[in-house]
Amino acid sequence: MEPRDHDVDDPSEVLDALRALHSHPGEGASFIERIFGTPTFFRLWLAQALSSLGDWLGFLAILILASRLGSGAPGASVGLVMAARIVPGFFVSAGAGVLIDRMDRKQVMVASMLVRALVVASLPMVDSVIGLVFASLVLELATLFFSPAKEATVPNLVPVDKLATANSLGLAAAYGSFPLAAGLFALLAEVAQWLGGIEAFDSLRTSQEAVAFYANVVCYLAAALIIYRLAIPRYHIRTHDDRPIDLGQVFKEVKEGWHYAFISPVVRAVNVGLACGLIGGGMLIPLGQTFSEQVLHEGPSGFGVFVFALGVGTAAGVVGVSALQKRLLKARTFVLSLFCAGVALIVGVSMSTLMLSAMWVAIMGIFAGSVYVLGFTLLHENVEDELRGRVFSALYTLVRLCVLLAMAAGPVLADVLDGVSDRLVGGEIDVGIEISVPGVRLTLWLAGIIMLVAGALSAAALGGLRSGAAGAESGIRSRERSAA
């Protein structure tokens, strides 16, 4: 029988688990241990991959359902539903982090997965935009508990030298499942048509989006079952007493988490770097198509090339960090990657041909993937177990805020700068050759500068690139030795 959590909390079991986490897989290690570090993390990753597949299926189905329910104003309906997926994070994530740090994280993940399954199962019966907005709010609230709980658990399941690989695999599970979900969603149209011809299913809704929701529920339930059967340590619970938590205590512990995020150089560097970097890099998504049309004159197909190049570059960056993690000074590489991503974006949007521009966008993706993986790895290595829930909840709040800011501000800023450029220089500047400077190019240049600023702020938070990186790596090495 597989050990349960109360077994893992036995002192001798804890010592054995720690030794296993900090040991290096030998030649006799299985394929799963060589790639994932431990079988337990492999199963957690499998649950995350299933959950992400369900998330993307549900996301595509919700977009179609929102557009159909808001037939008079489909764009507004979709926007309202998407806003319902963003807003809760600003108000609830801090409190969710406190609870995650006080509760059994396995139970939190299982409960949030079951809540999501229940909500998604009701979506085929929703027949109003308001109902869909409410369902989206509840889905997002459950997600706000699952994601930080999962991130806080990873360092307890993976050897220290495998954390970068674990984060790369997590990124692959989160976003690599999208193409599979898109293909499956298209296939479900045929399934829906087949089910519609069976009389026994006449009482059920069997549209394409309804069948996608049913598949989403199956993914969530399977993920919940996998997580329920995992033996996940609960070391963090020991730092709290058994007294009931009250509102004052919640605010106190939220303050403690944010205070730690500001006083810890590595945590502050990662938060600032990822947040500001996303403000800059995130502008490429809403402005990429405009840039392709106005500057490169390639139309929507050019934007498709951009997205492909960015995806390939990001994947290469993720794989590269995983392969070289033992040789990298992670803190220094994190900061350098921010600088290089900013430079690549500036150079890329300065090009006048699609292939050259796409090549530099791919280079930006390489460094952007490195920033993501290294940022999460630094947090896993440097944040104490009892604070991880709050720190990752704070990070997810910053990420959402900055992505929303980039998506909203980018197009507006491009329009403003377009008018400024026309009035001041007629939309072109002459530096030996004439360069077109529409608002979209100026905005993307500014986005690259913001990423450079993110690198500078992260370096400053670390007390200088060389000393900060050395200090962070020294702390990591000492923790590895003490744990072993």
Residue 92: predicted pLDDT: 67
Residue 90: predicted pLDDT: 64
| Domain end marker among 205, 235, 265 | 235
Number of domains in the chain: 2
Domain encompassing residue 20: 5-235
Are 221 and 50 contacting, i.e. CB atoms less than 8 angstroms apart?
Answer: no
Residue 6: predicted pLDDT: 42
Instruction: Give how far Cα 228 sits from Cα of 55, 91, 146, 235, 385, Å.
Output: 19, 29, 13, 18, 21
Specify the range with the lowest mean pLDDT, choosing from 46-60, 225-239, 370-384, 413-427: 225-239
In a domain, 158, yes or no: yes
In a domain, 242, yes or no: no
Band of the pLDDT at 220, cuts 50, 70, 90? very high
Mean pLDDT of 133-157: 86
**Is the same domain home to 325 and 352?**
yes
**Is the same domain home to 99 and 197?**
yes
pLDDT in tens, 85-144: 777 666 666 666 667 777 888 889 999 999 999 999 999 888 888 888 888 888 888 888
pLDDT in tens, 158-203: 887 778 788 888 878 887 777 788 788 888 877 777 766 565 555 5
**Res. 245: pLDDT tops 80:** no
Percent of the chain's residues with pLDDT above 90: 14
In a domain, 241, yes or no: no
**Is the same domain home to 264 and 190?**
no
In a domain, 246, yes or no: no
More confident residue, 129 or 434: 129
Mean pLDDT of 69-81: 70
- What is the DSSP pairing of strand 428-430 with strand 434-436? antiparallel
Count the neighbouring beta carbons within 10 Å of the beta carbon of residue 350: 16
Residue 44: predicted pLDDT: 92
As a whole number of angstroms, the distance between CA 28 and CA 221 comes to: 34
**Res. 341: pLDDT tops 80:** yes
Q: Crossing angle of helices 88-102/74-86, nearest 10°? A: 30
In a domain, 245, yes or no: no
Predicted TM-score (pTM) of this structure: 0.68
In a domain, 244, yes or no: no
Start-to-end C-alpha separation, the chain: 27
Average predicted confidence (pLDDT) for the chain: 77
**Is the same domain home to 282 and 215?**
no
In a domain, 380, yes or no: yes
pLDDT in tens, 260-292: 556 677 888 888 888 777 777 778 877 887 888
Q: What is the CATH number of the domain that holds 20?
A: 1.20.1250.20
